[in-house]
Structure 1
Amino acid sequence: MAEEIEVTPKTIQRDISFMRDQLGLPLEYHPIKHGYFYTQEVHEFPMLQLSRNDLAAQFPARHALEPLRGTRLERMPSESFSKIAETCPGEVSIARHELDEDFSVKAAGVLAADVTLFGDLLDAIRANREVSFDYPKLTGCKPETRTVRPHHVDQIEHGWYLLAFDLERGAMRTFALQRITHLTMLKSKFTREVGFNARDHLGGGFGVWSYTGDQRRKHEVLIRFEGYAARVVAERQLHPTQAIRKLKPDGSVIEFQADLSGLEEITRWILSWGSKAKVLGPAELKTRVQEELRAMLRTAE
């Protein structure tokens, strides 16, 4: 059984013990057949013992599905949520509108045109089927036809992105769903890239961009923030490697440090803080920020 459902024998043993001791199911060991059996008929498992707080915890996730309302991607988790609610003991009573007044999730930048892509890409990922689509680069206007092996769809910085192996470029690439058109699921199937992990793929950058080959270099970024910017930055986990050091006890001045594989997105992020941010290193990042500021001054004249 352990081999069939890909867990350890100890996990199976713990589950059997839980069913017998915690759920009170009539399980006994058969000394001749060397397995467990029911000593009497069991028509259904006991109901889940969910508290009001357990049920409430599901609501933020339900609200997060609002951008996908009306699609099969919204229906699947919603149906599961309803099943969980139905299994609650009779003494647990809660009205959805009560929690709707307490929880809300801001729309995550999903456009109406994206919802069909969600379903089609989900089908392709689960079936390990290659897809092709037209896609324009940020620096170009004319779309190019790309043939890829889709691995993962992720929400990053209020947008949705496809992580896929680009056959022509021979490497993993990141595609914004908003720029994908004419998606076609191909008949050809593929085997997922060994060791692929979405977090590792994006972890070196500071957002959506992933850096490969000569672009991927380690940059130890150090930025000083002051005032409201210091407090906001210190309150958030912006990168897995980040470290925050308070330069003033009240937190009004801090140093932000992170190890990044590229500097494109961190440059724009620094500029968004205006005079409240000062680059301490590396020198290349200082130069990038200075050049962009000069260019902004020229366009403002």
Structure 2
Amino acid sequence: MSDVTRRALRLLSLLQSRSVWTGPELADELGVTTRSVRRDIDRLRELGYPVLASNGHGGGYQLGAGKALPPLVLEGQEAVAVAVGLRLAAGSGIDGLEEQALRALTAIDRILPPTVRTEVAAVSDVLDVLDSGPGGVTSPTLLTLARAARENLEARIDYERRDGERMTRRVEPYRVLSVSHRWYLFAWDLDREDWRTFRLDRMHAARTTTFRFPRRPTPDIAAHVRESLSLGAYQTQARVRVLRPAEEVAPHIPAMVGTVAADDPDSCILRIGAWDLRWVAAHLAYLDLPVEVLDPPELAAEIENIAQWAGRGGRGR
């Protein structure tokens, strides 16, 4: 890297670090003349950076807002702070922030120098976010799978099923999602030749291979994962018609509970998975909405039992 290029990058870093710099201040920081500073400013402008200049008291050079976010130039400790902050945000439990933070972290992790990456890992190991949901997911696992999905690389995961059996799964990762404070991988299972959803906290290891895969047409990923979590994991499933519009019902049905699909403008079909029908009946009672049982018929009897219990004021028989 030439001295001119190195100085231009250093100048860009300075302009990003505070709002306004005078010419003499920049010259002093860079160890050059103010004339060299002006030439370097012109080079940045030619590259598309909107460097603004103003005269008078309080004036100087400042980096303006452009049409696109320019590449950030970060010092080592600044990169550590950004990467650690993104890792904390990825586990924060804040709706909409976790996945965005993971995408940003995946992008920055690819270009971190080894020494900075090591320091980020060391700092991250002693930080945590309280009330962020179930743990057990490590940052390397998140980053490995997110990078594999981004770069279309096959992956191998050491996975533990619900019954405790461990196995190696060969997958084509497509999306890493956060659902109800848990992380999941949506992927094509090469051995089973079907789409699968895997919990990251059940992965003991994850690694990428050098094999790239052509992307397949995907189903609606969010809907597929939601159905897998709320229905596929349970032996008992129920289907009811709720006599309210889908957009009114959907906000009250967590992704781990069921799926909602419009039936007509005034009603929707709710599908719920559970270990037993009594729990389904209790959840419907909690919703306090008019429903028609579609299947199984036994669910109607469970709802009647709850109604009789409520009619007795909660007293047993």
TM class by shorter-chain length?
0.3 to 0.5
- TM-score (structure 2 length as normaliser): 0.45
- TM-score (structure 1 length as normaliser): 0.47
Q: Where is the helix percentage greater, Structure 1 or Structure 2?
A: 2
- Based on CA coordinates, which of the two structures has the bigger radius of gyration? 2
